[in-house]
Amino acid sequence: MFEPEGGLIGMLFPLFLTCILLYLLIRFICGRFSGRVSSDDFEALDTKVAQLVNRLDDLAKRFERYETLHSIESEMQRVRAEMDAVSKGLAQFIALGDNQSSSSVFTATFPAHVGIYELAYKYEDVKIDLLPNTDLTVLLGKEITFKRGNKIEVYCFSVLVGALPVSKLARMVSDWLYNEEPYKAVVTRINTETAYCSLDIAFYRDIDDSDEDDDEAFDDIP
C-alpha cells in the first residue's frame, strides 16, 4: 500500500482532460458531417470514449482506496493505448467525412395501385426551389405533400420547405390537387454543397374515368 502523491494525480488529470476533449471533438465532427457519414461510425467512437472516461473514473476510485501504484500505472498504460486507438479512429472518421460526396440519392418505390386508383404517370428528378437554410439531409427519403398557392408549395411533415418551379409538371400537380386525385412524392436527390433537392412523383388515377385527350396532354411533360 502507498500514500497518494500529487505526481499520480498529475498523471490522471491529463488523461481525464484528453478524454473529455476527444468526446467534445467527436460531437462537433458529427454535427459537421451530419448526413455524410454513417451514424454507426460516430456512435462507435462515442461509445469508446465514454468507456474510457468510465475506466479513468474507476482508476480514480482505486487510487482513493490506496491500491498499489504498479496496478494503477499498468491500467493507465492500457487506457493510453486505447486512447491512441480512438484518436486513430477519429482521424479516419474525419477523413471519411472530407472524402464523401456531398450528393446523396434515395431510391423511391411506388405501389401500382392506391385504393381503386392505378399508377398513371411517374416523373423523376423534379427540382424543388427550397426555402433558405433548409436542412437537406433531413428531407432525403421523406414523403412530400403539395398545396396550391401562387406556386405549388412543398411540405415535409406539414412544414413548408419550398415550392415547385413554374412548369407543365407544376400545372399537372395543381390539376391533381384540384381533382383530389392521389399522388405520391418522395425526396430522392440532394446536394448539400449546391443546395439542390429533387423529387420522384407518382400520379394515380381511375383509368376507367380518364379520357385520351387528358392522357395526351401530359405525355410531353419533361
- How many structural domains is the chain composed of? 2
Instruction: Look at residue 44 and tell me if it is in a domain.
Output: yes
Q: Are residues 117 and 20 in the same domain?
A: no
Choose one of 46, 69, 99: the last residue of a domain: 99
The Cβ of residue 211 has, within 10 Å, a number of other Cβ atoms equal to: 8
Q: Are residues 58 and 87 in the same domain?
A: yes
Structural domain range at position 146:
103-218
CA–CA separation, 60 and 53 (whole Å): 11
Instruction: Look at residue 1 and tell me if it is in a domain.
Output: no
Q: Are residues 112 and 208 in the same domain?
A: yes
pTM of the model: 0.52
Choose one of 99, 129, 159: the last residue of a domain: 99
Q: Are residues 131 and 212 in the same domain?
A: yes
Q: Which of 131, 192, 178 is nearest to 156 (CA)?
A: 131
List the chain pLDDT tens, one digit each, 222 residues: 444 445 555 565 666 666 666 666 666 665 555 555 556 666 666 676 677 667 766 766 666 555 555 566 676 677 777 766 666 666 655 555 554 557 889 999 999 999 999 999 999 999 999 999 898 889 999 999 999 989 999 999 999 999 999 999 999 999 999 999 999 999 999 998 899 999 999 999 987 765 544 544 454 454
Instruction: Look at residue 183 and tell me if it is in a domain.
Output: yes
